[in-house]
Structure 1
Amino acid sequence: MTIHARVVRFHEIGGPDVLKIEEVRLDPLGPGEVRVRIDAIGLNRAEALFRAGTYYYQPTLPGSRLGVEAAGTVEEVGREVAGFAPGDAVSVISDQEMSHHGLYADRVHVPAQSLLPRPATVDAITGAALWTTYLTAYGALVEVGRVNPGDGVVITAASSGVGLAAIQLVNHLGAVPIAVTRTDAKSARLLRAGAAHVLAANQGDLAGRVHAITGGQGARVVFDAVGGPALSDLAQTVAADGLLIVYGWLDPRPAPLPMNWPITVHGFNVDLITSDPARMTRARAFIEAGLRAGTLKPVIDRTFELANIVEAHRHLESNAQTGKIVVTVQH
């Protein structure tokens, strides 16, 4: 039987308008592969950068795909697949090679190792919004940062999906989340989301305000999504012998190496977790425990239908959102 899928692809780099929904024929399942009917897709800022040609690797054109996380239901399993069967609810975490393995689609073939069982208590929207953000926050703050109770933790781009996951995770660990946002427009929302303090970057003297909050010591960990020339100023918020973790480059300009030593600067990528089975096992246990306890729960900003993927990407780039944008798929 021939299976077709609706897939979002782009044939040139550019703005959201380059995204097109096209029908493609799926090849037969290979050994170790699973066909998943996608019900929801989690959007990430990296995908907008990739579409625009400003990510750390370039799309393969024409016909590049997009997307790294989704949730749905197993429809068929290939040979040599164990642990999954048709009808199973799953989350999907693709590798970072989006051109060929992107998940913006209504059906996909993926390796079985890309699947995570989705408990009955986790709906598709939550399952699509969960893993990239919380694995990033967990990997940076627990595996690398070793955040302890009472630590001051500065979180930039705090209203993003990863930023809000980090606020929840820092609270879960008994530490103090200090949210940094560009203006004070989102301050009330960030306080409701669990931030102990909210600092607007455009009000100046960020280091002085962080040191005041932390009793003059500075933050033991700073978790930064922005980079760029302001990195040196941000480094002034770090406590002596503290840790500056950079996981994004929302500001694409060169970022100077901070010189206020002693300080450790770590460039973090979620692959550190997803490519290591032992770390991934620990991460899953931590995140699933937080879900059960109710201390970790994705914040959904807005949902769009797959047919409106262009509008979803416009919203993704607007910086107006607080939390995760999810695209739902109608069958």
Structure 2
Amino acid sequence: MNLSCTSTTIKYLIFIFNFFFLITGIIILAVGATVKTVYTEYSYFLDDKYFSLPNMLIATGAIIFFISFFGCCGAFKESWVMLSIFSVLLVVVFIFEFSAGIAGYVLRDKTISYLENTLQENLKSYNSSTHDIWDLIQSKFECCGATSYEDWSTVLSGYQLPVSCCPEKSGTTGVFYCNSYTTSATTTSTTQSITEGSSTTSVSTSSTTEAVSSTTAASTTSTAEASSSTTTASPASTTEASSSTASVSTSSTSESTIPSSTAEPNPLPSGPGRRRRDVLAEDPTPTTPPPESTSTPYQTGCATAFGSFIKKHAVQIGGCALGLAIIQILGIIFSCYMVRQLKNSYYST
């Protein structure tokens, strides 16, 4: 069958295209198998839709090997029937790849919210069935809890955290503690309490000083007035006035100083304005703090750290599928043109 120069060029271009098409099949197959292997390690926390995309890529890669055979044989034998089948299969592969690409990007956007719900639900089963996968994720991705390490407070008692929540320090010997208790928080609260207590003490001291000073001044004034009023009296009356003045001064001084030292203390104030010092007075029993954590727990939640890892592979699926789908368009155009030329040549003879 005689072909024009353009058709002959298209014929050899189809051979070249099938060679690259075969390579793209290998790439798609490898990407799908790799992502599926990675996801299988964390299959407990991943839904079936995270495995459907890699499976689709694996199936598409296998189909491409079969399609390449039709393309090469059809171009070599100049059979428009085989090239027509090749064109139809290229369209099917294009639809598969384009769908996988869109699904990969949609899956990426929903990964974080999906993992937050899934990880929160599986926190309660840590002590029974999920401790291995939780420890793997937290140690590998340096995260703790679903959104933060505080999520474990609803599952574990007190300040306790899984050991995988804390980074290992080289050279650590003996017991390794991992919890949310740190001395910095305790020091801060203690400092605030001491500051508030010292301010209360200063207020009490200043008020006591003012009371004693006013009492002393009053005593001195009354003594001076009594002494001046009795200066012109007789010695006997002077002695009596002095004695009475001294007794008055003594009694007034004792009456003024007794309330500040022996009077009943004021009842503890109640309500939102109560001082920290008064609260400590009501509850003097201290609580024993747990051992301090050997290292500071990870601050990032696993929904973010682990989710970024899953999103990255979802983007790889989407980018690979969409990129190769664009290449398929060239093969579809070449094969359709070749089929048209072969049909025209076949029916013209």
Pick 1 or 2: higher relative contact order, CA cutoff 8 A, min separation 6: 2
Specify which structure has the higher proportion of strand: 1
Specify which structure has the higher proportion of helix: 2
Structure number with greater Rg is: 2
Q: Same fold (TM over 0.5)?
A: no
> Which TM-score applies when normalising by structure 1?
0.19
